[in-house]
Each structure stands twice: as structure tokens, then as C-alpha cells.
Structure 1
Amino acid sequence: MFGFSRCGCFLLGVLAIAAGAGVRADELDLQPIAGVKPRNVIFILVDDHRYDAMGFLDHPFLKTPELDALAKNGVHMQNAFVTTSLCSPSRASILTGQYMHHHRVVDNNNKAPDGTIFFPQYLQRAGYDTAFIGKWHMGGESDAPRPGFDRWVSFAGQGRYYPPQNPSRWSLNVDGKRVPQQGYITDELTDYAIDWLDERPADKPFFLYLSHKAVHAGFDPAERHRQLYADVEIRTPVTQANTEENYKDKPMWVKNQRNSWHGVDFPYHSSLDVKEYYRQYCRALAGVDDSVGRIMDWLEKKKLDQSTLVMYMGDNGFLFGEHGLIDKRNAYEESMRVPMLLHCPELFPAGKPCPGVVANIDVAATVLQAAGLPTPKHMDGQSFLDLAAGKVELDQWRQGLLYEYYWEYNFPHTPTVFAIRGNQYKFIQYIGVWDTDELYDLKNDPLEQTNLIRDPKYREVVEQMRRQLWQEMRSTDGMAIPLGEKRGHGANLRRRSGSETADFPEYLLRDKDERE
């Protein structure tokens, strides 16, 4: 059972109508769930935070005491994913509860269609105070306030870790007014969040969406963290090896991407040291950990730490050399798997991890349930509050998750990807490229080193998962791919001295006609 959920919309080829865009104002009034008291909710989103970059997961050197405390006193959702590993599409899935083929934010260049409903609009209508503080990113360079929020603090595009020397060239948007950025962005966003929590009326429930710029690429830590981990030796990922064995039965595009903007041979078309890049990533993450501690301290001081639902999540993962790649977009674990931590002692037993497969499309429904509201029919996700509380058995929860990524002109080395990520197996299929599909046994091969797609013993698994993938696409009206405008050649360079292009695999090569 996949547990794939509902959708009440239609996709009509390239003229598809975005689900939720046609919701009338009166339909924002959801019938409250009987007997449920609206709960305060704080949702913390962190950019590019991959699933294993937390101290309590036996990381070799990274220290995250505040995240460790969240896991110790709450619930670690061990199998949390995004349905598209890219900033804007993933964030749109969080806010709409929908797959990318529904909300149609297909890349980082385009905003959500006019009329798209974001779940905080339901909270506002139900009497919540709402605030968005941080990186929005959907809609190109616009930082204008969006529907659903009483308080708005944001910035254009990716934002900046530090303000520029010329402050007239950069500012924050605070409720529609231009306000200079004063200092390190992780700290400053946390300041704004706590100020809002302090100043808001105490007689209404609140929803805070704290959306950090960190730890997006271009990692720049706070001054107090610049020397962290200076003496730590950073290991080369096992799957980074440029060997025939490592690339055996892998898609050709993976080997080819090694020598590209998103590969270790030519990262960002530069001589970037990927290991040092990871060191900076871990340093920048320390500021986020500090921020979490400040939020939790505020809740404890106000005696709200037992009743408030705190959710911590990454918007996508990030590769640092795995498979010879950097960045995200693909369907490998380091790209699509993210941290998800929940804290609310009134709801969850402390320190008990949950292995159920959850995703960004589930966040909206989960927050709405905490507010005592049902899941709107146009959402694809489902609430995992009861799953995290141990009230739902794993065999009654989804057994697999759809993943999708659509080719982008500006980064042409990653093809269109569709995948099903199950509890044991992952099936990956590519569209529009002459290459092989992939199947991995995640229990026995967590690093995704052995592609089983051509192994006869797994033929039934492949056929079943391929059917499941397309069943989910059909059942959610996802059979048409929304197109993003191609505006140029993109980052299509290769290093002359880098790794060579991949050869076609032996099983495709013939000396005679196919029938001979």
C-alpha cells in the first residue's frame, strides 16, 4: 500500500490549471476538527540541510547540540524526503501540500501561479497570528509579501549571509518596507522571529515559519564559527572514486556530470576544493543550531515548550562528492533525503524515532491537524502527527513516495527524473535521455553502489515499482510535464583535463543486426 492521497484538480497538457488556484475565499473556512484545541506551531526550514548532517547520527565531527536535544526530547523522522530536490519547488510543496506537477513551480526562476493557496491562509482564517521570516525564493527576485502572513520579513532571491559594503544595494523587505540588513543573516532572522513572538498578542494561537538562508551554497559561517573544525580530516566519499568499478551499471549521465558545474572535476566551473566546501557548510550549520537553541529557550521561558509543536526540516539535501557529484536535483539519498525533527511533549514520547516515510508535501496537512483543521481535498500530502505519536502502524502508512525533477536549461547535465522511494527499494527512471534506469536495495546497499536494474532476480520488483510510479502519476494528474522557459545555453562547460565522457555499456553494443 502506498497510501498516496487525494487530488481534486486537472492537468490539461501545457495549459494545466494549478490545483488550489481556483479555491474561493469562502473555501478557506475549514470545518474545525471536534475536540481539538488549536496548537501553537513553529516550523523551521533550513536550506540544503542533508539528512545525515546532525551530531546525534554519529557524525564523525559535526556538533549540533540543539538539534540533538530536539531529537532526544522529541521525534526524529528517520525517513523524511522531499518530492523535488530543488529550493523553489520543494518550498512550494511545503506551502501547498502538493507535488510539483500540481503547484507548477518547476524551477527557481518562476513564482507560484496567481491564486495559489498557501496553507497559512487557512490558519489566518481560523484566527491564527502568522509570520513568515526568511527566505521565500519563489518568484525570481521578488520579495513582496505573500498571502497568508500577518508579519513578513524576507529578501530577494537567495539572500546574503552578510550585508554588502554598500547598504544601498541590498535590504530586507519588512512588511513591504525596505530595511537594511544589519548583520549575519541567521542571527538576524532569529532576532526578528523572537521579536515577533514577544510582541504579538497572547490571546491568539500563532504560527511562525522561520525560513533560513543557511546553509545554502556559498556557505559563509558566523564570525564566531570561522575556525570550527579547522583540524578535522574530511573523508572522501566512497562513491566518489573515478573508477570503472564505481561507475559499473550507473547511468552515463552520472559519469558525464562528474565533469560539469555540478561535478567534482569542475565544480561551479572552478577549482573549488569540495572537502573544504563541506567544512564551511558544517561551520555555517552551527549558526542554525544556535538559532534553534534560542527559539527553544524562548518557549521554555514562556512555559510554552510542552504544548508548542516545533518542526525542523531541510528543504532538500546536498551532495559533496557522492557519485562524483555536488549539489542536489537527482534522486540519490544525499539529494532527496532531509532531516525532520518534531518536538511537542504533549503529543510525542521523547526520544523515540519514527521510520515511516514522510515528505515535504505532508507538512501542510500536519500543521493544519495541529491547528484542529482537516486536510483540504486538493492537497496531495497527509498529516503524520498520529504516525509520529505511534498511533498509526507502519503497514497502514505509505510504503513508497513519488519523486520528480524536471530538466532545467540552466543546469542541463541533470535529466528529468522520476522515482519511487520505498522502505527497501528505490526505483529511478529517466525521461528524454538515452540511458539506463536504476534499482537499489537500500537495506543492503545504503550508498546506492550496485544498480540491480538488469539483475533477473529483481525483475518483478522493477516491474511492480514501475507500475506504482505511473499509477501515482496518473492518479494525481501528473502525466503532463509543466515546462519552464529555456532562456539560454546554461552551465554546459566541461574541463578539458577532467574525466572523459562515459562509454555506452556493453549490454547495448552489437556487432550484428539485432535479430542475428
Structure 2
Amino acid sequence: MKTLKLVLICFLALSYSVRSNTDPIDKKGKKKPRNVVFILTDDHRYDYMGFTGKVPWLKTPHMDKLAEEGAYFSNAFVTTSLCSPSRASILTGQFSHSHTIVDNQAPDPGNLTYFPQYLQKAGYQTGFFGKWHMGDHGDEPQPGFSHWESFPGQGVYYNPTLNINGERIAYKDSTYITDLLTDHAIDWMKNRDKEKPFFLYLSHKAVHAAFKPARRHKGTYAGKKIDLPSTYDQTKTGAYKDLKWPQWVADQRVSWHGVDYMYHDNRDIHEMVVDYCETLLGVDESVGAVMQYLKDEGLDESTLVIYMGDNGFSWGEHGLIDKRHFYEESVKVPLLVRCPEIFDGGVKPKAMVQNIDIGPTVLAEAGVKQPEQMPGVSFIPILSGDKNAPRRTEVFYEYFWEYDFPMTPTVFGMRTDKYKYMKFQGIWDRNELYDLQNDPDEMYNLIADPDKQDIVKSMSTAIYDWLEETKGMQIPLKRTIKYRYGDYKHPNEY
């Protein structure tokens, strides 16, 4: 197994040398900075889109078209499956232990540089619209954006108040947040300086709990049901003991993040999935509206469009809902990429990519040198057909125990194309090893298999090597305000 250091050196050495022959060139013979649209959604799991077939009755025509005309990365991962840490990793290009925003309460340390700041220095006009929720819960304008529209914390689905460049404006009359953000983002593009390149960061609240669809979509999927996953009942029947799952997984079944007491409520899981999918319809229409604007302006061929989720979401797998854990449904995210000027549509790369690759990808297309503190790599060479494009042989994962949600322990993990290993910290329980090729549902924990001990040892060693090389051997504790037991009010506040 290659060490992380060698892999990163290979990534950085190649990420700037590869360019599509169709890249536009200015009068001085230099590559023109490319316009970029980045759309981020909340809690959208990787396979809940119409074209994947996971939910036969779910229709997402605009996402389907984006995948058809562009690319769908089926192996896109976050480094931490939680809102604030993931968003910080996207913006800084760093792992959670590096940027230190390790949970939804940890504040920004004040020494971070977001990749849009480099775009501004390169002459880009940059606009942010939507959920920030990274390092603090405020709505104040943040560095790197020449235009700013946001709201405090998780926000609300209806009648929001937006901080627009420092002025707070309240919206009434059942204004729906997904529609409002989309309209404002398109208006900003319409009124931008046409002589400068632009970067749009459209950050939706949807589809975070408590799910609320647009009124026009309410009832679209009433009565529909999903096929419950194969691991749904194991913690209920006790089969998890034979499968050698950790005890903490079974204990979560009747917790905030368990299927028998979801968000401390007794709702039916199928009803919640329907609400989730109906809420997703507004996001799909947002994608369609943005793409239609680009087409109307003649920008759809040359603009790089990236659609991504900040983390995945479990719907009953291992008896769990929500995120945080390192199972596939939680850590995988949708990643759709489109730019006909660079690559042909219909591409479905199997390469593993992570959220720390977003910054390097955008900066590379802007012609901006990648900062040394970013260990990620541009994934454009993979899409443009370069046979020598760097490809990850593994991804690493970390999640740090939270005071307000103590059900999930600290975990450090590693995933290859073949195996996934989870190493838990601060809990008296067993670790996990899964053969992903023969057991994609992660049902059979092989951690105690005598034939797998060399694999366990090598992956454990690789995790420690990764942490040491990226200065992550210490958990970055933060002074934060904690809620008293029973004070937590609503799932949309975390």
C-alpha cells in the first residue's frame, strides 16, 4: 500500500500539468479563468436521485440531465459526515483536524483561508447564497465573497430573514427558502460584471430535517414507500451479535438517530422519506433554473457546474438514520460535474474523490496555484480522459464525539476499493472491517477473522501514518457552550 505522503506528492505534481486541449485561451496565450457554479445541498445521500434507480418513484429530471450531460462520481466522500466540519473542509481544502472545526459548535480559529479568497485575488467576482453554518451560527458576511446572502444557523424553510451584504431583510407570504436563494443567485449572475469571471456558491438548506417541501410539491409522493435496507432489523432481532457489530450501533436504535425513536418522535420512516424526497424536488428545480439561465446566456458550454452534498444520510441501514457514522450511506455524497468544453457527457468514473478536492478543482480551472496547505487534487484530469491522472487508492475519515449527540463515538476510518476499516476511540467496543466487494451492505464485520488480521494491521497503521503526516494526532478541543439535558429543541438546530 502506498503511503499517504507519496500519493499526495503524486497528486500535487500532476494536478496542474494536465489541461484539456479545449481550454479557452486569451489573447496573450494564457488559459482564461473559467466561470464556476458550485451548488451544495444538505444531507443529500449519494443515490437519492432518479437516474440511480435507488428509489423507483423519485423523479429528479434536472439532476438526471446534469449527470447525462456531465459526470456522476459514484464514489464521492466527505472527510467528516457532519455539516460544519464538511463545509469547512470544502472551503479550506483541509481535513477536520487541520482546520479544527471538528463539530457544529467549534468556532472558526480565525486563521483559516477559504479558497474563494484566492479567486478574489485572481479577479473573480464571488457570490455566496444560503447556509453557512460553519464554525459559528451567525449570518455575517464572510471572507472570500464580494456578494453575501445568508441566515443564522440552520435557517427555516418558510419566511426566512436573509443577511444581504450586512442588511437583514425579512421575507413573508410563504416565501420558500430554496426558491428564494435560487432567484437571488440567478439575479446576481444576471447583474454581474460581464468583463470578469464569476464564482457562484449556492448553498441550500434543503434537504435537512425537519423536512418541509415547497407547497407545490407537498403530497407528490403521498403513500409511497421505500424498500427497507437489508440491515434494517438486525439490531432489533439481536442478529447484530452474530454479525459482530459494535454494541453502540445496536444501542442507537432507540435514540435520536435510531429508527425506533427518530429525532425523539414516533413517526413512520416511510412518511419521513416521502417528506425528504418531496423537499428534494425544490432543489432539483433549482438546478434546472440555474442551468436554464446559463443556457440562455450562452454560458452552459464553458461554465464548470458542480453539484454536491455536504454529507450523506442513512435511511434505516444498521437501524440508523441521519449521518456521522462511516457507513456508506452516511459518508458518500452526490457529486455531479458538467462542462462540455472540457469533457463529454455521460461519464461515470469509479475513482474515489473527496470534498477536500473541490477547492483544488476550482482553483485549477481559475488558473490559480494550489496552496500548500490543501492536500486534495483537481478531479478534472480524470474527466478529461487523462490516463495518467492521479487517482486515490484510499480515502480517510474522522468524526469526533459530540457532547450534544453522545450516541456516536469518535471514529477514524479508511476505505479502499476493497475494504473499509473503522477504528473507534474512547469506547469499550469492537472495531469494524468490511469487504466492500463481497459485502456492499456492510453486514458482516470481519474484524476478528483470523485471515484478515494483516489487513487490519496495515489499515490501522495507514490511519496513524495519515494522522501523523497531516498533524492530526491530537483531538482539537474547543471551548463551546453546551446545552443542558432536555434543552435541545429541534432537529433543525444542530
TM-score of the pair, normalised by structure 2: 0.90
Measured after TM superposition, the shift of residue 299 of structure 1 is: 0.5
Measured after TM superposition, the shift of residue 464 of structure 1 is: 1.3
Measured after TM superposition, the shift of residue 488 of structure 1 is: 4.6
Letter of the 2:421 counterpart: F
**Which residue of the partner structure matches residue 292 of structure 2?**
297
Farther-moved stretch of structure 1 (283-292 vs 457-466)? 457-466
Separation in structure 2 between the aligned mates of residue 73 and residue 423 of structure 1, nearest angstrom: 26
**Which residue of the partner structure matches residue 429 of structure 1?**
423
**Which residue of the partner structure matches residue 306 of structure 1?**
301
Q: What SS is found at the alignment partner of 1:312?
A: strand
**Which residue of the partner structure matches residue 510 of structure 1?**
none
**Which residue of the partner structure matches residue 407 of structure 1?**
401
Residue 112 of structure 1: which of 101, 108, 121 is its match?
108
Separation in structure 1 between the aligned mates of residue 487 and residue 314 of structure 2, nearest angstrom: 19
Residue 65 of structure 2: which of 57, 69, 74 is its match?
69
Separation in structure 2 between the aligned mates of residue 392 and residue 215 of structure 1, nearest angstrom: 37
**Which residue of the partner structure matches residue 420 of structure 1?**
414
Q: What SS is found at the alignment partner of 1:457?
A: helix
Residue 198 of structure 1: which of 190, 200, 203 is its match?
190
Separation in structure 1 between the aligned mates of residue 73 and residue 373 of structure 2, nearest angstrom: 25
Residue 169 of structure 2: which of 176, 179, 183 is its match?
179
Separation in structure 2 between the aligned mates of residue 408 and residue 103 of structure 1, nearest angstrom: 17
Measured after TM superposition, the shift of residue 110 of structure 1 is: 2.9
Separation in structure 2 between the aligned mates of residue 483 and residue 420 of structure 1, nearest angstrom: 23
Contact between 2:106 and 2:479, CA under 8 Å: does it hold in 1?
Answer: no
Does structure 1 residue 384 correspond to structure 2 residue 379? yes
Separation in structure 1 between the aligned mates of residue 151 and residue 74 of structure 2, nearest angstrom: 32
1:319-468 aligned within 5 A: 319-393=314-388, 396-468=390-462
TM-score of the pair, normalised by structure 1: 0.86
Deviations 1:322-359 (A, max 9, x none): 11111100100010000000000011121011111101
Letter of the 1:46 counterpart: T
Separation in structure 2 between the aligned mates of residue 228 and residue 389 of structure 1, nearest angstrom: 38
Measured after TM superposition, the shift of residue 492 of structure 1 is: 11
Measured after TM superposition, the shift of residue 382 of structure 1 is: 1.4
1:114-133 aligned within 5 A: 114-133=110-129
Residue 217 of structure 1: which of 197, 202, 209 is its match?
209
Separation in structure 2 between the aligned mates of residue 492 and residue 274 of structure 1, nearest angstrom: 25
**Which residue of the partner structure matches residue 13 of structure 2?**
none
**Which residue of the partner structure matches residue 189 of structure 1?**
181
Measured after TM superposition, the shift of residue 484 of structure 1 is: 3.6
Contact between 2:240 and 2:250, CA under 8 Å: does it hold in 1?
Answer: no
Measured after TM superposition, the shift of residue 141 of structure 1 is: 2.8
Separation in structure 2 between the aligned mates of residue 456 and residue 384 of structure 1, nearest angstrom: 38
Separation in structure 2 between the aligned mates of residue 112 and residue 284 of structure 1, nearest angstrom: 30
Residue 229 of structure 1: which of 206, 221, 227 is its match?
221
Distance 1:491 1:321, change over 3 A: farther
Deviations 1:185-207 (A, max 9, x none): 00000001000000011010000
Distance 1:361 1:258, change over 3 A: same
Contact between 1:88 and 1:105, CA under 8 Å: does it hold in 2?
Answer: yes
Residue 267 of structure 2: which of 272, 278, 282 is its match?
272
Residue 76 of structure 2: which of 77, 80, 83 is its match?
80
Separation in structure 2 between the aligned mates of residue 123 and residue 429 of structure 1, nearest angstrom: 38
Deviations 1:412-462 (A, max 9, x none): 010001000111110100000001111111111111001011112222211
Residue 312 of structure 2: which of 313, 317, 321 is its match?
317
Deviations 1:165-220 (A, max 9, x none): xxxxx621000001113410000000010000000110100000000000011000
Separation in structure 2 between the aligned mates of residue 274 and residue 474 of structure 1, nearest angstrom: 41
Letter of the 1:328 counterpart: K
Separation in structure 1 between the aligned mates of residue 257 and residue 135 of structure 2, nearest angstrom: 23
Distance 1:335 1:77, change over 3 A: same
**Which residue of the partner structure matches residue 57 of structure 1?**
52
Separation in structure 2 between the aligned mates of residue 123 and residue 433 of structure 1, nearest angstrom: 43
Distance 1:392 1:478, change over 3 A: farther
Contact between 1:215 and 1:284, CA under 8 Å: does it hold in 2?
Answer: yes
Separation in structure 1 between the aligned mates of residue 378 and residue 82 of structure 2, nearest angstrom: 22
**Which residue of the partner structure matches residue 492 of structure 2?**
none
Contact between 2:81 and 2:325, CA under 8 Å: does it hold in 1?
Answer: yes
Contact between 2:223 and 2:271, CA under 8 Å: does it hold in 1?
Answer: no
Alignment gaps of 5+ in structure 2: 10-27, 489-494
Give identity over the alignment, percent. Answer: 52
